[in-house]
Chains A and B, each alone.
Chain A
Amino acid sequence: MIHPDRLSLTARPLGRLKAYARFMAAAFLVNVKATLEYRVNFILQFFGMMLNNAAFAAFWKVLLNRVGTVGGYGFSDVMLVWALVSSSFGLAHIVFGNVRQLGRIIMEGSLDVYLLQPKDVWLNVLASKTIVSAWGDFAYGYIVLAMMTGTELERLALFTALIIPGALIFAATFAAADSLAFFIGNATAVSSALTEFMLSFSLYPEGVYGAGLRWMLYSIVPSGFVAFLPLRVFRALDWRLVPVLYLIAGVYVMLSYRLFNFGLKRYESGNRMDARV
């Protein structure tokens, strides 16, 4: 019998960290292979995402040609915010593709298959799937970046450094909403509302929201940390704030992880015969 502490992310930090890095890399590679298996589907999804984003870009172009700025954002700001959010959101769903299914898995009592494996349950569930269309979102950000600011290496590096905490915050927030399924059963409504809120609020200029809403955008719906703050950092090419964003992402991940494990104690198996293939 393996003692649960040995499997925890926090016990023997360095050795475990290495092992988990290997595990994440392996999960990622399997997911990439799975994606490439369905090429037509992949291309279609990719195309669909691009088209959707292009439609909104057209909307902003038309509007901003008329008025110059909205809420302090010009066209390039709006595009960069879309790029940051799109790539962060995409990365979150490429690496942690099961994050939107977590609530259903808990509700149906299908966690057993993950409980039996010698890896942290939370990480294992989240990383065991990838979402095909997320690659389109991920790539879109870089395409916009190349179009708006060119392919200057420092900007590319800063952009990449900013979307990683963004992806972690997206995944942690969605996972937290889905973890509510441990306590309230069906958390679908809460989690889809949160997804809608987070995406919708992130994609429009921060300045259009009143002060009453701002506190929410830097707490339970953290659009501020995946969109508005990264945009300011990117604009100013200010690397000093990047570690702060990683720290904030760490806090969100830790809270989400704690919430899941707190809920896990209440988990009841559905006695389903599941197999991971």
Chain B
Amino acid sequence: MSERIAYPGNFAGSMFTYALFVFIFSRVWAGAYAGTTEIAGYTMSMAVWYFIIAEIPSFGFGRFFWTLSRDMKSGQVAYLLARPYDFIWYNFAEKLGGSLIEAGIILVEGLAVGFALIGLPPAIASQYPVGFASFALETARLGFLIVSLLLAGALNYFLQMAIAMTAFWLEENEAFYWIFQKFALVVGTLIPIEFLPEKAARIAVWTPFPYLSYAPARIAVAFSLAEAWSLVARQALWVVLALALAKVVFASGSRRLSVNGG
């Protein structure tokens, strides 16, 4: 983490792009909602806030692949493999640790930009308009949102790790990452999955993509305790599956590694 704090300037570009994206999409949504107040169960405020939250994993946790893949290809991986700790978990601590700061900054920036553009996040539909019960629900929403973002980070890491480790077989493995990234973009990042045609949405929930950005964004804009539990549980399940996938790829890939000199 402290490594990232040392060079704050490096991250300014991402922060700028994120703000620009949020601004443009807030305009696109304003255009889309010009003749209607609701699309697929989302109001305009929900759609803009959805985008603000859904982009956080892309900006905060979207680039593990590049550093992991570079380490594999440059042979840097050899130093880590010889050490007495788990390769996947070591990288997990290092890469995710660093990106948490960035995701946190993007979250704060998103809240500020969103507030300036469209006002407070959509209120939680509740039979208790004010008082303790609604305060408890707000706290629960924030708690679930943070847990869901962390799970999205972990899922992003394990999936990207599995893709990066294809470098054990292929020198040019970027294409796999691009395909992964674009699916993640269309399925739940740019647009809520409720907007997709019914058939596509039904298939999408069985893939890991909605759990990379849809889950936290949905929790933020349409919170109910039951749905939040279900989303977080499915995210956790996918994290376990992705970890298992990464382990399998590592086990069969690392056998092929030959280290030349040192």
A-side interface residues toward B, CB under 8 Å?
40-41, 44, 47-48, 51-52, 54-56, 58-59, 62-63, 65-67, 70-71, 189, 192-193, 196-197, 200-201, 204-205, 207-210
Contact = CB atoms under 8 A, between A and B. Distances in A.
Contacts of B186: 55, 58-59, 62
Given A201-B24, A208-B28, 17 more contacts: A40-B172, A41-B172, A44-B175, A51-B179, A52-B182, A59-B190, A63-B195, A66-B40, A70-B28, A70-B32, A189-B12, A200-B20, A204-B27, A204-B28, A208-B24, A208-B27, A209-B27
Nearest to B39: A66
Contacts of B30: 208
B174 A44 contact: yes
Nearest to A71: B31
B172 to A, nearest CB: 6
A207 B24 contact: no
A210 to B, nearest CB: 8
A51 B39 contact: no
Please classify the interface of chain B as helix (H, G, I), strand (E, B), loop, or mixed, using the class held by over half of its residues: helix
A44 B24 contact: no
A63 B32 contact: yes
Interface residues of B, number: 31
Contacts of B87: none
Contacts of A48: 174-175, 178
B172 A44 contact: yes
Contact of A62 (B28, B179, B196): B196
B62 to A, nearest CB: 14
Interface of B: 12-13, 16-17, 20-21, 24, 27-28, 30-36, 39-40, 172, 174-175, 178-179, 182, 185-186, 190-191, 195-197
Contact of A208 (B20, B31, B191, B197): B31
Most buried by B among A189, A208, A210: A208
Given A48-B175, A66-B39, A67-B35, A196 B20 contact: yes
B50 to A, nearest CB: 13
Please classify the interface of chain A as helix (H, G, I), strand (E, B), loop, or mixed, using the class held by over half of its residues: helix
Given A62-B196, A63-B195, A66-B39, A47 B24 contact: no
B203 to A, nearest CB: 14
Contact of B175 (A47, A59, A197, A210): A47
Contacts of A192: 13
A44 B172 CA distance: 8
A41 B40 CA distance: 41
B118 to A, nearest CB: 14
Contacts of A67: 32-33, 35-36, 39
Closest 9 CB pairs of A and B: A71-B31, A55-B182, A208-B27, A208-B31, A70-B31, A59-B190, A67-B32, A58-B186, A70-B32
Contacts of A200: 20-21, 24
Contacts of B27: 71, 204, 208-210
Contacts of A209: 27
A196 B17 contact: yes
B16 A193 contact: yes
B196 A197 contact: no
Contacts of B20: 196-197, 200
Contacts of B196: 62
